[in-house]
A and B are shown apart, each in its own frame.
Chain A
Amino acid sequence: MTVRTDRRGFLGLAAAAGAALAVGFDAQGALAAGAADAPGAAFNPFVRIAPDGAVTVIAKHFEMGQGASTGLATLVAEELGADWAQMRVAFAPADPSRYANLLFGTQGTGGSTAMANSWLQYRKAGAAAREMIRRAAAARWGVDPAELDIVEGQVRGAGRSAGLGEFAADAAALTPPAEPALKPASAFRLIGAPDLRRLDGPSKTDGTAEFAMDVKVPGMVWAVILRPPRHGARLTGFDAAGAEAVRGFVDARALPNGAGVAVYARSTWAAIKAREAIEARWDEAEAETRSTDRMEAEHLALLDAPTYQARGEAAQAAAALSGAARVVEADMLLPHLAHAPMEPLNCVIEPLEDGVLIHDGCQFPGLTQPIVAAVLGLRPEQVRIRTVFAGGSFGRRANPTSDYHVEAALAFAALGGKTPVKLIWTREDDLAGGYYRPMAAHRVRVGLDADGRVVGWDHRIAAQSIMKGTAFESVTVHDGVDHSSVEGAADTPYAIPAMSVGLSDWTSPIPVLWWRSVGHSHTAFAMETALDMAAEAAGRDPLELRLELLSGESDDHRRLSGVLRLAAEKAGWGAPLAAGRGRGLAAHKSFGSYVATVVEVTARDGRVRIDRVVCAVDCGTAINPDIVRAQVEGAVGFGIGHAMRNRITFDNGAVEQTNFPDYEPLRMGDIGAIEVHVAPSEAPPSGIGEPGTPPAAPALANAIAAATGVRPLKLPITRAGLSFA
């Protein structure tokens, strides 16, 4: 899965014998086709069919493990009638005019939108190719196209059969259909098939999968950045004399924006050693100097008087609570968290005759291309991007500031702009380097009537805004409310009467960013913990209370209650458990999908073992059901692992965690078993990379409360005096 781009940023498509058929869309979104290798006909397609039968899908979404490349290939293969064995994937170059995410308007992956926005587009490209191959075959055989069908890569009919690639060259001369017919769901053979293997599977088991960390270009130097100890500090000077003794050290240069010192060397190791020997001086006048305790106190204080109203009216909620038979209330605190993708951030930037080429597991070319161009004084199209596999992201690689690309560009320019530079972050850089899931405080007060029914809900949130000050502000911030701070609470599907959601922004020089499931990563915890506490106070079954709030006719109610029932049934909800064991439940809608999770734990003397996790998911049509299950398994691990024991803390503004030993990741053996049940659906596909995360942490906390009577209200759960066996 590698792809070359030529000087104009078009895909380099190695010419096989005879012309290949390329099908894609023009800048207006109309289907376009041609011979892939014809001079002057260069355009960036979605699918390329070679005469030897290889069908290459050009993935406009990057692959961070979520399976999007396999998913996009599935859509094309389904409509084309290809055999799975003939499918290949290449990553698209930066070209937002062709490869925009249709939900964002620019090229990028995020918000669990890859399959949702591509669902019709990639099928259409496959269907157009099918139609053109069929017409080409019909012309060659002198039969009516209606007599021909394409199944498992073979054109069949009129008593004949041949591989579809044999007609690629002829088809390339035809005009694509304007609106090719798409298959009905009942005719799907590959979409929804349980046994398609991931196209990236083999290269990820023999070391050949290429990540940016593996890229080496001739003449390249390796670079690391010496960054300030506190976010917001600026470089005033440095002394690199100590680095001269490090074998392989090349040079050290101040980044022109004062963000740090770029240290260049002839190997990664030399760069790391040289950096240790450099002394830098910082101006800390604007730097963060608070400690975590104080940050938490400030967040809690902000809950007393929310600045913005995100839903309902505070007075109405207050009236409902004052008339309630009882009020359940809790303050909750959720910590700063790092994404810590397995592949530490890095990219390679090299000079071209008329610009630069960036090798990167690039999540958001639509941002990175213009931002790097501005830094280097180039036009956007002079910044080529070659996308390779990304070793995880969880949101970190999509950044409104394109932070690590900008660092690489500055380091490249500071060295003269002629030498290729590979920027590498170490794990220490990653944990201390910012762009965290913001700390969040929630205060929830739930009013119950004498029968234990919810009659009012006063919900207050304090968190640092992710979107304010970014290019996304105009679409995500309304009347001061950053939707990403309140999503999952202000728009909860539960039919909660007299609900008010207030918001206050906390501010800091610490950079924050979306982290797998964004605001849902904390709002779901608050909602599902509060519901559990309400059920407990009312002496009601937590499942039954939730179903009562989801008893309407709406799609949301039908689908969220559907996964709740499915998860409860599969988990044996309500079956008696031995002493010391407990079961917890949580459900949440995010990114258009619905997930319910049941966690079972055993607790003894303050030690908790997670025995089993059962999830039910409704994500619309499951294009690749096994990838859906894998994503939910991973999202559950991500949610539970951080909830168990992770937080980023600050001591007078300096990050205290240095490497995995003090940001201890989920490990093998931490979770006994995870079962994922996919609800059948013919709705269009919705998100799957993120929705498994939000309900995981509250389901665990609720299970712990059921088993021990200790209600975790501050994350990580180790703060409640518990440990994990």
Chain B
Amino acid sequence: MTIELTVNGRRRSVEADPDAPLLWVLRDELNLTGTKFGCGVAACGACTVHLDGEPVRACQTALADAAGAEIATIEGVSGKAAEAVRAAWRELDVAQCGYCQSGQIMSAVALLESNPAPDDAAIDAHMSGNVCRCATYPRIRAAIHRAARMMEG
């Protein structure tokens, strides 16, 4: 059936089953490949996108549940927190292979939008659903602190 979505501020209509995961619609139908597949079972966070500003795992979000919401992906996420996070990520060269980083950034942006000055414990708790097999965790933590400072200034 035809389902209407709002992705990164644009209306898109797709032909798909309502129970198809949003992840595959974004990637295979809409060519928004910045959102990654890592596990398909909500255990790695590589597919994290925002639904109305809330981070969700696109691999476990049925298309029908995303219809009507504002969907933001790594390609379109914007605002003060997103800018600060991207800048901090580049300054500290967080990424290694980079495959997990779209999801890490989407989670980090959501964290800073709700908690502009998180401490280590808040960061660890919020980010623990995002796996990085390259183990860039120390830099992710440092970059979130740096982004938080940038947002103050």
Main secondary structure of the interface of B (DSSP, over half): loop
A341, A342, A670: which has the most chain B beta carbons within 10 Å? A342
The answer to whether A202 has its CB under 8 Å from any CB of chain B is yes
The answer to whether B5 has its CB under 8 Å from any CB of chain A is no
Q: Map CB proximity to A onto B32-47 as digits: 1 under 8 Å, 0 otherwise.
A: 1111111111011010
The answer to whether A604 has its CB under 8 Å from any CB of chain B is no
Query: What A residues does B138 contact at CB under 8 A?
Result: 633, 671, 673-674
Q: Map CB proximity to A onto B116-142 as digits: 1 under 8 Å, 0 otherwise.
A: 000000011101101111111111110
Judge whether A637 and B89 touch: CB under 8 Å: no
Query: What A residues does B141 contact at CB under 8 A?
Result: 668
The answer to whether B69 has its CB under 8 Å from any CB of chain A is no
Report the bound CA distance from A67 to B134 in whole Å.
12
Stretch at the interface among A75-83, A119-127, A211-219, A310-318: A211-219
Q: How far is the CB of A126 from chain B (nearest CB, A)?
A: 22
Judge whether A340 and B133 touch: CB under 8 Å: yes
Pick from B33, B44, B89: contact of A213, CB under 8 Å: B33
Closest A residue to B100 by beta carbon equals A342
Q: How far is the CB of A21 from chain B (nearest CB, A)?
A: 30
Pick from A65, A638, A641: contact of B97, CB under 8 Å: A65
Report the bound CA distance from A667 to B129 in whole Å.
8
Which residues 1-36 of B sit at the A interface, judged by CB distance below 8 A?
A: 17, 20-21, 24, 27-29, 31-36
Pick from B31, B38, B127, B136: contact of A427, CB under 8 Å: B38
Pick from A63, A67, A213: contact of B37, CB under 8 Å: A213
Pick from B39, B96, B127: contact of A668, CB under 8 Å: B127
The answer to whether A714 has its CB under 8 Å from any CB of chain B is no
Pick from A64, A637, A668, A674: contact of B130, CB under 8 Å: A668
What total of chain B residues lie within 8 Å of the partner, measured CB to CB? 56
Report the bound CA distance from A247 to B1 in whole Å.
11
Judge whether A208 and B34 touch: CB under 8 Å: yes
Query: What B residues does A582 contact at CB under 8 A?
Result: none
Query: What B residues does A209 contact at CB under 8 A?
Result: 98
Report the bound CA distance from A637 to B136 in whole Å.
8
Report the bound CA distance from A63 to B97 in whole Å.
7
Pick from B17, B101, B127, B133: contact of A665, CB under 8 Å: B133
Judge whether A660 and B131 touch: CB under 8 Å: yes
Pick from A208, A630, A636, A659: contact of B43, CB under 8 Å: A659
Which of A's residues lie within 8 Å of B, judged by CB? Answer: 63-67, 197-198, 200-211, 213-214, 216, 222, 247, 267-269, 272, 340-344, 389-392, 394, 426-427, 626-627, 630-631, 633-638, 641, 659-661, 665-671, 673-674
The 3 closest A-B pairs by CB, nearest first: A207-B34, A637-B135, A391-B99
Can you spell out 7 A-B residue pairs with CB atoms less than 8 angstroms apart? A268-B27, A342-B44, A630-B139, A633-B138, A634-B96, A659-B41, A666-B131
